[in-house]
Chains A and B, each alone.
Chain A
Amino acid sequence: MYSYVFRRVFSALPTLFVVITISFFLMRVAPGGPFNLERPLEAKVMENLMRIYNLDKPLWEQYAIYLYNLFQGDLGPSYFFRDFSVAELIAQGLPISVQLGGLALLLALTIGCGLGVIGAIKQNQPADFGVIALATIGITIPNFVVAPVLTLFLAVHFDILPAGGWGDGALANKVLPVLTLALPQVAVIARLTRGSMIEALHSHHIRTARAYGLPGRVVVVRHALRSALLPVVSYMGPAAAALLTGSVVVETIFGIPGIGRYFVQGALNRDYTLVMGTVIVIAVFVVLFNLIVDLLYSLLDPRVRYD
């Protein structure tokens, strides 16, 4: 098991390398640069800036310098937020995004699985139709609609929650963004759980459990839900990585200083190093959560073994 984890982490390095390489060159293919502003800089200033940031060197040399620095743990300076290094920006923003994403994830898993199980047990009954309707709504309404509507009611109309801002991480400030992040995930998880639960409840070993007079709760939770969770778990890998690395829309609407915004802002500003930094963070999260998913798989289903 440990050797498996070690091998997986080890084999993730080439993947990261490929991601970094492709993003590096793709960024440079985009026209313009970090210092092409609306009002052009003086030629001399531009020249100095380009030299300081090594942007006057051939592309492959810039690439080599970036890799060399990266190897030393240096993500470089931000070209746009000039008082900060990329590492500092990520260190400030990532914990906030992870907090919001983590809470949304927990909420989505609890409510989503719960609704899915209810839907499956009450298949084709009113409760089930309710779950399906809710899931469809959650998937179809985009978060940039959900967020303003929630704000309008809970913050403006009833005035029980702040409309935006981080408020140094006060609980009240987290409620609306977490709800907005969680809603579509609740919907997807409820649908997935319902589908695989229905299948699991029809399996032969569930018939055995019922034939042996086990209480309904044991049959559903111990025997059916465990195998029904497998598709949910495999969905949660990439979904968790996406949630924890922040959402542009939610962070922008609620004015939250997470790292989700950096990715889009960085790309628009041609802030090469900031984009590379967020790409690396996202890639590491994706790799990490896929590994966690595979380990959870073998934990849930003993037929899956990695030796």
Chain B
Amino acid sequence: MKFRAKIIDVGCLNHFTRVVNTISKLTKTCILRLTPGNLYFVLSGKIASGGVSMWCELSQANFFDEYQLEGVAPEANEICLEVTPENLSRALRTAQNAKCVKIKLTKKHCPCLTFAAELPTLSSVSRVVTHDIPVDVIPRRLWHDFKEPSVPDFDVSIYLPPLKTMKNVVDRMKNLSNFLVIEANLNGEMNLKIETDLVSVTTHFKDLGNPPWGDDGSQGRSHSRDPELMAQTRVDIRKLQQFLMGQQVNPSKAMCNIVHKRIIHLILLHEDVSLQYFIPAVA
């Protein structure tokens, strides 16, 4: 099991830092799956994480100038690690103007991801900062927990309004209620609602548009649907807030799939990065 990668380009470094920062806002620990072509940050919907799951996919070629991986076995050329994204984020933060950053899987006092950054100096010799970040190596028999989730058979899929706007709304609603109902229809309309004994608040969004999912299997249920009919899910408002709060990547596309009374599936696409986030319904 070997892994080493290197970033030289400042733009790539900043981009990677933003992705990691986003992940660190979403979860305390997650799985980092390394394959020859991609990196994945994965959170599987365990009770401990409030049933929330996450899938973030990066194409390594878009970030790294060098990338070498030797997986667990030739037929399973992957490495699966449990990491604390906050530590990765901290390590990257101190490497902001680095000439280059190397990431290596190392065996120190325990398995570590070692970040080494070469920092510019006035003298001829560079300043080097290294961070040994402890990781847990996930044995192969547990890998099945961390497979890409399939797109749920949703009732309605809708483009999201600008995330900042949505965040402002949700932040205010959070002061009034712990739960939020998100509903949308095939007519490009979405509502965010809270209801308490004292007050009901609804924010209406319209003309958002519905993503064309083509002949994808998920289209089945929404095909013959009344465009005005709302599909709705009630979620823990903190989970949604956390998702909106952590966004540091400006997505080119943001959408939400709603499975009526079951789950919401949020998708952010930004060039080479995709982030999927699942929030289960609460009764």
A binds B: no
* Interface residues, chain A, with chain B CB atoms under 8 Å away: none
